C-alpha cells in the first residue's frame, strides 16, 4: 500500500428539507386548518479516527464528500426525514487543517475520537408552525437552511513513542529491522527510506513501545534540500528522539549539530524533546576511535551517548532498556497530569 500522509478534500453537509404549505380537507371535519409539516435536518459531515488505517491513500481517489438533503415536510403535520450523517474514517493521528494549511480545526489523536466538521442545515418550518389565534390560515412556509461546505487538508502524524532521526545511511532502517518485525528497505546508498516506517519493540509481555523511522535529513532540509523536512511531523508526538549517528564516518559532532539545526529550524517543539544519542556501527571503529568520538559527542551534546552496532546487536539491548524506561516515565507523567 502506498504511504500518503497529506490529502486535500471537499466536504459539504446536507441542506435542510423544505417546509410545506398544506391545509386539512376532510369530508366530515367541519373546520380544517393548516397542517403543513416541517422539513427534516440535513446530514452532518463527521470525521472518526479508527485503528485499522495507517495511510490517507483512500483520499487520493475520493476527494468529494457530500451529505444528503433532509426530506421535505408533508401534509397532516408530517415532518420530513432527517438525513444520516456521512462518517469519514481516518487513521489515528490525523489532523484536519483549514484550506490555508495553518489553522488547526481538529486533532484526532485517539481511537474512536469523533468531530462534526460540517453540521447539516435545519429543516424549514411548515405553515402549521405559524398558526395562531390571529392567523388561522397562514400560507407561509420556509425553505430549509443550507448546509456548510469547505475544503480541508488532512495531515497524518503517526502515533509513536520513539522518533528515529539522523543523516541518510546512519543505519536507521537496519536498527528498526533488528529491534522490531518491520522490514524496511535496506541498501548501501542514501535515501533508501522514502516514507515513514513504524515498528513495535517488545521487551517483555508488559513492556513495548512504537518506533517511527523517517527519511534521513541532510543540511538544508528545512529549505527543501533532499527530501526536505515534511516527514518530521511524524515524530512530533514522540516522547523521546533517538538520534542515530554513523560513528565510522567521523565528524560525529558536526553530524549531530547538523541534525539539531534542522530540528530547531522545523519547530514543532522537536528541539525541546528528550534526546538519546546512539553512535552506530561500533563494529567498524577501533576502540580508541569509538571512545574518543563518544567523549566528544557527550561533551558537545550533554545527552546520553551509547555505543551500538545495529548489524551485530552490540549495545542494542541496553539502548532498548533506556528507551523503554524513558517512554514509561513520560507515560506516567502524562497520566498524572491528566
* Cβ proximity of 120 and 70 under 8 Å: yes
What per-residue confidence (pLDDT) applies to 1? 46
pLDDT of the residue at 189: 52
Note down the domain range covering 259.
162-337
Q: Domain boundary at 122, 138, 156, which?
A: 156
Q: How many domains does the chain have?
A: 2
Is there a contact between 245 and 256 (Cβ–Cβ < 8 Å)?
yes
Mark whether 125 and 238 lie in a shared domain. Answer: no
The pLDDT value recorded for residue 190 is 57
Of 156, 189, 209, the domain-final residue: 156
Binding site, annotated residues for GTP:
166-173, 191-195, 213-216, 280-283, 309-311
Return the pLDDT at 81.
93
Same domain, 140 and 69: yes
C-alpha cell at position 100: 490555508
Q: Are 238 and 273 in contact (CB under 8 A)?
A: yes
Angle, nearest 10°, between helix axes 252-266 and 287-301? 30
209 in the same domain as 132: no
| CA 52 to centroid of chain Cα atoms | 13
**Shared-domain flag, residues 325 and 176:** yes
Asked if residue 149 and residue 170 are part of one domain, the reply reads: no
Annotation: binding site: 166-173, 191-195, 213-216, 280-283, 309-311
Q: Is the dihedral of CA 197, 229, 246, 236 positive or negative?
A: negative
Residue 100 shares a structural domain with residue 32 = yes
Last-in-domain residue among 131, 156, 181: 156
Q: Which residue from 258, 302, 312, 304 is spatially nearest to 279, judged by alpha carbons? A: 304
pLDDT number for residue 272? 83
Q: How many whole angstroms separate alpha carbon 254 and alpha carbon 277?
A: 14
**In this structure, are 147 and 168 located in the same domain?**
no
Mean pLDDT by 10 residues, the chain (338 residues): 79 95 82 88 95 84 93 91 95 90 89 93 92 89 94 86 82 82 63 69 82 71 57 77 84 86 81 85 85 87 85 87 86 72
Report the binding-site residues for Mg(2+).
173, 193
Residue 307's nearest CA partner among 277, 263, 336, 286 is 277
Residue 1 lies in a domain: no
Amino acid at each position: 500500500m502506498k504511504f500518503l500522509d497529506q490529502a486535500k478534500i471537499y466536504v459539504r453537509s446536507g441542506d435542510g428539507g423544505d417546509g410545506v404549505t398544506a391545509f386539512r380537507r376532510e369530508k366530515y371535519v367541519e373546520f380544517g386548518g393548516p397542517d403543513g409539516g416541517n422539513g427534516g435536518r440535513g446530514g452532518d459531515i463527521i470525521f472518526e479516527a479508527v485503528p485499522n488505517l495507517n495511510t490517507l491513500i483512500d483520499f487520493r481517489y475520493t476527494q468529494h464528500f457530500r451529505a444528503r438533503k433532509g426530506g421535505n415536510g408533508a401534509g397532516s403535520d408530517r415532518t420530513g426525514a432527517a438525513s444520516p450523517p456521512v462518517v469519514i474514517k481516518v487513521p489515528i493521528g490525523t489532523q484536519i487543517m483549514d484550506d490555508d494549511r495553518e489553522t488547526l480545526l481538529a486533532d484526532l489523536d485517539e481511537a474512536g475520537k469523533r468531530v462534526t466538521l460540517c453540521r447539516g442545515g435545519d429543516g424549514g418550518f411548515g405553515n402549521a408552525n405559524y398558526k395562531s389565534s390571529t392567523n388561522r390560515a397562514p400560507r407561509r412556509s420556509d425553505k430549509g437552511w443550507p448546509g456548510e461546505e469547505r475544503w480541508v487538508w488532512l495531515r497524518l502524524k503517526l502515533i509513536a513513542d520513539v522518533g528515529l532521526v539522523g543523516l541518510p545511511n546512519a543505519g536507521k532502517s537496519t536498527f528498526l529491522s533488528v529491534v522490531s518485525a518491520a522490514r524496511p528497505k535496506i541498501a548501501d546508498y542514501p535515501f533508501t527510506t522514502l516514507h515513514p516506517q513504524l515498528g513495535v519493540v517488545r521487551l517483555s509481555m508488559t513492556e513495548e513501545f512504537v518506533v517511527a523511522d523517517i527519511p534521513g535529513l541532510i543540511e538544508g532540509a528545512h529549505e527543501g534540500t533532499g527530501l526536505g523536512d515534511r516527514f518530521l511531523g511524524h515524530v512530533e508526538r514522540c516522547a523521546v528522539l533517538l538520534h542515530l549517528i554513523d560513528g565510522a564516518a567521523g565528524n560525529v559532532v558536526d553530524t549531530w549539530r547538523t541534525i539539531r539545526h534542522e530540528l530547531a529550524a522545523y519547530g514543532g517543539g522537536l528541539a525541546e524533546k528528550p534526546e538519546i544519542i546512539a553512535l552506530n556501527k561500533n563494529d567498524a571503529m577501533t576502540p580508541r576511535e569509538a571512545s574518543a568520538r563518544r567523549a566528544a559527542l557527550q561533551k558537545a551534546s550533554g545527552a546520553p551517548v551509547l555505543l551500538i552496532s545495529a548489524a551485530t546487536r552490540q549495545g542494542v539491548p541496553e539502548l532498548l532498556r533506556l528507551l523503554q524506561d524513558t517512554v514509561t516515565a513520560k507515560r506516567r507523567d502524562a497520566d498524572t497530569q491528566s
